Every structure is written in structure tokens, then in C-alpha cells.
């Protein structure tokens, strides 16, 4: 990195809130250095921006306590499937974590802090809780960005299966995943192998932010949707639709200079975009 670019980055970071600075540091960690602990800290940073006065240490201690309570129960278990059964029993029967079917689009379902306090969440955040606990117990999991429904998979060589924390740790085999896909979309969709491939930490954090973006757009809270997009662009600055969406929200907020820059950047990245004519009209309108 050129020295002048480094100085510019440092100056930009210093203007950010502590929560945003923390997320920026995680987003700029190389993929090969990202661990499950980065996943926890990234999820905490996302929640910290929503709750600036929260005590991050309190939520780290909750995970420490859960792991401490589970470790002695697993000490004598030798069969990996029984380990899963014990983790399921602890998280879903004893602590009563569950999917929030009553208010799925409540933004609190996407904040790991609220999920730990309320013990309800969406597939992604309940999967994060499961992954983080299992990792610290020496039973690591991969995140699986299944279409419309995040699930996880043990890294154990003897377990060729998937786990659905949203449904109380339901065990799934590939044929079950095919049936779930049909259930989710209401019609039969062929199960593609890529639907069951692991995703990295960056992709998981990005999916969490995209959930928040869509929730806030649905709730007509453009400022919060904009904040989600800004952090997504820290993770993946080369996603053209995020530049477009940030530009459209800035346009909506009458921040026309920023809107024009982002929309022009979008068209540079996707010169033959299907919505290009509409975007050009908006840019021309802001130049009048």
C-alpha cells in the first residue's frame, strides 16, 4: 500500500465511531487470518453501533459461561453425534434458544447481543451462537449459506450432515436440504452442490449486514440501512449493487453529491446495467 493511501485510510478511520473503527479493523483483516473469534468480534461491533453504551465484555462472558457449563458434560463423550445431541440439549432445551417465528423481521434478531439476552433469533444469528460455542469446545463448524436459510456443518470427518439451529438443532442430510429448499420457496428447486458449500467469515458478516439492510429498508429507516451498506462496503468494496443502493439512499436523503458519486461509480462498474437508464436520469436530475 502506498504511504499516501495509508495516511488517507488512517485519517478516515479516526473520524469513525469506536464501533465503526472496530468493524473497519476486522473488515481489513485478510481472509486467511480471519478466525471464528473475528466472527464474534465482528458481530459484536455491528451490535455496538446500534447500542453505543453496551458492555462488550458482558457478552464475551456469556459465551465463556456457556462453554464452561458445557465442557464437563462433554468430557466423557466419545461419539461426535452424541456431542451434537448434548450441545442441542443445552442450547435449545435448557437455555431455550429458538427461532423468532412471531416477528422474524425484528432487527433485534440480527444483533448477537439481543439474541443472547432474549434467546430468540433468525437462522444466521442462532447459527453464530452455535458455531461460537462449538468452536470453543473443540468441535468446529462451517457456516453454510444455504439459499434463504443459513445452516451449519460440523468439520468432523465422520459427520456428513448439517445442523439447523433455527429449528432447535435439527439434523439434516442432503436429501433433507433438498426438501427444505422446496419448503422455503414453495416449489421444487434442484439442489445445487454450491448451496451446501462452506462460506468464509467475511461472507457471513456480509450476510448479517445485508439482512439488516433489507430489514431497515422494509421498515423505512434509510439512515440505518445506509449504515449497514457502508459496513458491507468495508467488507467487500467491489460489489456494484451496494454502490448503487448507497447512492439511491443518499439521493433519498438529499445528499446529492454523495449520491452522484456512488451512482456514477456503479455505472462504471456495470456499464450495461439493466437499470442504467434510470440511474442516468437520476444523475442528470441532480446535475440540473
51: helix, coil or strand? coil
40 pLDDT band (50/70/90 cuts)? Answer: very high
**Residue recorded with cell 427461532:** 99
Q: What is the pLDDT of residue 211?
A: 96
| Strand bridging mode 141-144 / 120-121 | unpaired
C-alpha grid cell, residue 200? 468464509
pTM of the model: 0.92
**E strand intervals along the chain:** 98-99, 120-121, 141-144, 151-154, 162-164, 170-172, 198-199
Q: What is the pLDDT of residue 183?
A: 85
8 pLDDT band (50/70/90 cuts)? Answer: very low
Q: What is the pLDDT of residue 10?
A: 58
pLDDT by residue (tens digit) across 88-114? 999 999 999 999 999 999 999 999 999
C-alpha grid cell, residue 23? 468493524
C-alpha grid cell, residue 276? 442504467
C-alpha grid cell, residue 128? 453464530
pLDDT by residue (tens digit) across 232-271? 999 999 999 999 999 999 999 999 999 999 999 999 999 9
Q: What is the pLDDT of residue 119?
A: 97
Torsion angle in degrees (nearest 10) through CA of 237, 37, 39, 233: -20
Whether the pLDDT of residue 145 is over 90: the answer is: no
Phi-psi region of 200 (alpha: psi -120 to 50; beta: other; left: phi over 0): beta
Which domains does the chain possess? Answer: 3-199 (3.10.620), 238-287 (no CATH)
Residues in the chain: 288
Amino acid at each position: 500500500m502506498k504511504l499516501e493511501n495509508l495516511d488517507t485510510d488512517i485519517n478516515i478511520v479516526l473520524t469513525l465511531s469506536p464501533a465503526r473503527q472496530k468493524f473497519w479493523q476486522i473488515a481489513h483483516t485478510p481472509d486467511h487470518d480471519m478466525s471464528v473469534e473475528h466472527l464474534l468480534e465482528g458481530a459484536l461491533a455491528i451490535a455496538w453501533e446500534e447500542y453505543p453504551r453496551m458492555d462488550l465484555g458482558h457478552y464475551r462472558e456469556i459465551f465463556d459461561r456457556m462453554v464452561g457449563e458445557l465442557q464437563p458434560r462433554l468430557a466423557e463423550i466419545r461419539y461426535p453425534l452424541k456431542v451434537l445431541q448434548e450441545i442441542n440439549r443445552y442450547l435449545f432445551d435448557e437455555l431455550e434458544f429458538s427461532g423468532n417465528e412471531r416477528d422474524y423481521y425484528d432487527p433485534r434478531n440480527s444483533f448477537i447481543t439481543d439474541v443472547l439476552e432474549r434467546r430468540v433469533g433468525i437462522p444466521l444469528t442462532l447459527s453464530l451462537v452455535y458455531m461460537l460455542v462449538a468452536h470453543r469446545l473443540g468441535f468446529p463448524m462451517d457456516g453454510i449459506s444455504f439459499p434463504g436459510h443459513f445452516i451449519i456443518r460440523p468439520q468432523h470427518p465422520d459427520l456428513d450432515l448439517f445442523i439447523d439451529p433455527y429449528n432447535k438443532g435439527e439434523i439434516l442430510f442432503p436429501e433433507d436440504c433438498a426438501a427444505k429448499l422446496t419448503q422455503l420457496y414453495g416449489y421444487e428447486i434442484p439442489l445445487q452442490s454450491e448451496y451446501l458449500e462452506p462460506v468464509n467469515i467475511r461472507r457471513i458478516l456480509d450476510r448479517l449486514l445485508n439482512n439488516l439492510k433489507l430489514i431497515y429498508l422494509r421498515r423505512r429507516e434509510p439512515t440505518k440501512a445506509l449504515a449497514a451498506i457502508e459496513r458491507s462496503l468495508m467488507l467487500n468494496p467491489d460489489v456494484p449493487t451496494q454502490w448503487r443502493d448507497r447512492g439511491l439512499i443518499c439521493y433519498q436523503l438529499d445528499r446529492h453529491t454523495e449520491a452522484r458519486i456512488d451512482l456514477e461509480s456503479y455505472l462504471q462498474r456495470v456499464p450495461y446495467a439493466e437499470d442504467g437508464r434510470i440511474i442516468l436520469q437520476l444523475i442528470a436530475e441532480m446535475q440540473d
